């Protein structure tokens, strides 16, 4: 947790950082967020994160609390004040404070903005990715029809992640009513087929357009690994040569078992390992 948080214009010690009980984020999850990884003190892929944030706000008609320039300064200041070298920055913007009523308030409130940051050990997580990977558990995707918006309304994701944890998995691999994998509860999901082609669901297909997903796709293309964007079923995934997940906190992490069934030989595969090394180089550049 941050020792210093940014809350609506002020940098305050976390213990003194509060939001209003009528904040629509608290009442209705009427807000959006971004999570950005910090490596060597630098915010990774900040511009695509800001693009996605602006898109999420636009889709929900939440006004930006500040322009992008000042926002970059606030984010950098939170990293600096917390002296974070490797970690994770969390940024949340809600529609603001208004008496509880479902429609947008007649008088548009000023949006509320909170930024925190915490330490993460990326070297340990990269080491784990290269040597161990994680177990995953399939869970039905019970979310709404706008998963492209990075909304703070995450209850279905929380339930999926919790069910996965209770089943011994690190992440939930969510699937739709036709048995096709959508994404993880907080990650994008990939497989490598028998020909070595990387496969991941298309972002036009009602999933969150992951920033790590986009960077890993570019890296794969640079490495001349073939990438196909299409839906694949759980059964196909279980028969795949490799599986892995991507997210800002996990980078690329091999999934070595799904529902207790080994993927490939049950260890991190060669394609995932190449991508992890290349993603690490990208973060270190
Ligand atoms: N899908 C979902 C549902 C997520 O919540 C996240 C992380 N916030 C991701 C994918 C991965 O996105 P990113 O690579 O931008 O962290």
User: What CATH number is associated with residue 265?
Assistant: 3.20.10.10
For residue 94, the domain's CATH number is 3.30.470.10
pLDDT tens string 94-130: 999 999 999 999 999 999 999 999 999 999 999 999 9
Same domain, 195 and 213: yes
Closest C-alpha to ligand 1, atom 2 = 186
- Closest atom of ligand 1 to 211 CA is 15
Closest C-alpha to ligand 1, atom 4 = 186
Query: Would the CB of 171 count as within 6 Å of ligand 1?
Result: no
Contacts of 78 (CB under 8 A, 6+ apart): 2, 4, 5, 6, 11, 89, 115, 116, 117
Query: Would the CB of 248 count as within 6 Å of ligand 1?
Result: yes
The 3-state DSSP class for residue 211 equals helix
Same domain, 31 and 143: no
Same domain, 203 and 260: yes
Same domain, 168 and 278: yes
The 3-state DSSP class for residue 188 equals strand
Same domain, 101 and 171: no
Two tokens, residue 64: 């930006």
The 3-state DSSP class for residue 242 equals strand
The answer to whether residues 238 and 183 touch, using CB atoms and an 8 Å cutoff, is no
Q: Domain boundary residue among 120, 155, 171?
A: 120
- The per-residue pLDDT for 2 is 63
- The per-residue pLDDT for 205 is 83
Q: Domain boundary residue among 120, 147, 165?
A: 120
- Closest atom of ligand 1 to 183 CA is 1
Query: Would the CB of 209 count as within 6 Å of ligand 1?
Result: no
Two tokens, residue 110: 């000023």
Two tokens, residue 86: 């490797």
Contacts of 9 (CB under 8 A, 6+ apart): none
- Scan for tokens 């089943």, then name that residue: 167
Query: Would the CB of 215 count as within 6 Å of ligand 1?
Result: no
Cα-to-centroid distance, 12 and ligand 1 (Å): 28
Same domain, 88 and 49: yes
DSSP state of 151: B
The rounded distance, in Å, linking the Cα atoms of 161 and 245 is: 14
Which parts of the chain register pLDDT below 50? none
Helix ranges (DSSP H) in the chain: 24-28, 46-59, 68-81, 122-131, 155-166, 211-222, 234-238, 270-284
The string over 184-203, giving b where at least 16 C-beta atoms fall within 10 Å of a residue's C-beta and e elsewhere, is: bbbbbbbbbbeeeebbbbeb
- Structural domain count of the chain: 2
Q: Domain boundary residue among 54, 86, 120?
A: 120
Same domain, 75 and 177: no
The answer to whether residues 75 and 36 touch, using CB atoms and an 8 Å cutoff, is yes
Closest C-alpha to ligand 1, atom 7 = 186
Same domain, 79 and 8: yes
The rounded distance, in Å, linking the Cα atoms of 82 and 12 is: 11
**Residues forming a β-bridge with 261:** 258
Same domain, 225 and 147: yes
Q: Among 48, 158, 248, 252, which residue has the most ligand 1 atoms within 8 Å of its CB, making it the best to mutate? A: 248
Whole domain around residue 53: which residue ranges?
4-120
Same domain, 133 and 274: yes
The pTM for the full model equals: 0.97
Closest C-alpha to ligand 1, atom 12 = 210
Catalytic residues: 150
Same domain, 229 and 260: yes
Same domain, 254 and 269: yes
């Amino acid at each position: 947790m941050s020792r210093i948080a940014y809350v609506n214009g002020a940098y305050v010690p976390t213990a003194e950082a509060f939001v209003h009980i009528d904040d629509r984020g608290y009442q209705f999850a009427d807000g959006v967020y971004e999570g950005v990884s910090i490596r060597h003190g630098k915010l990774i892929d900040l511009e695509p994160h800001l693009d996605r944030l602006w898109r999420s706000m636009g889709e929900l008609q939440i006004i930006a609390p500040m322009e992008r320039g000042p926002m970059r300064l606030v984010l950098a200041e939170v990293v600096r004040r917390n002296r974070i070298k490797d970690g994770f920055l969390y940024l949340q913007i809600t529609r603001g404070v208004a008496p509880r009523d479902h429609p947008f308030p007649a008088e548009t409130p000023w949006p509320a903005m909170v930024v925190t940051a915490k330490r993460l050990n990326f070297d340990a997580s990269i080491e784990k990715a290269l040597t161990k990977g994680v177990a995953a558990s399939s869970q039905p995707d019970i979310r709404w029809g706008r998963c492209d918006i990075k909304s703070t309304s995450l209850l279905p994701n929380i339930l999926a992640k919790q069910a996965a944890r209770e089943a011994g998995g690190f992440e939930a691999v969510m699937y739709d009513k036709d048995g096709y994998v959508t994404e993880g509860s907080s990650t994008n999901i990939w497989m490598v087929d028998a020909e070595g082609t990387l496969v991941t669901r298309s972002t036009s297909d009602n999933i969150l357009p992951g920033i790590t997903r986009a960077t890993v796709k570019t890296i794969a293309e640079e490495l001349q690994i073939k990438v196909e964007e299409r839906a694949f079923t759980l059964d196909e995934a279980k028969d795949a040569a490799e599986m892995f997940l991507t997210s800002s906190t996990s980078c690329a992490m091999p999934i070595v078992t799904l529902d207790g069934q080994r993927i490939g030989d049950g260890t991190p595969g060669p394609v995932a390992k190449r991508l992890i090394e290349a993603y690490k180089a990208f973060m270190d550049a």
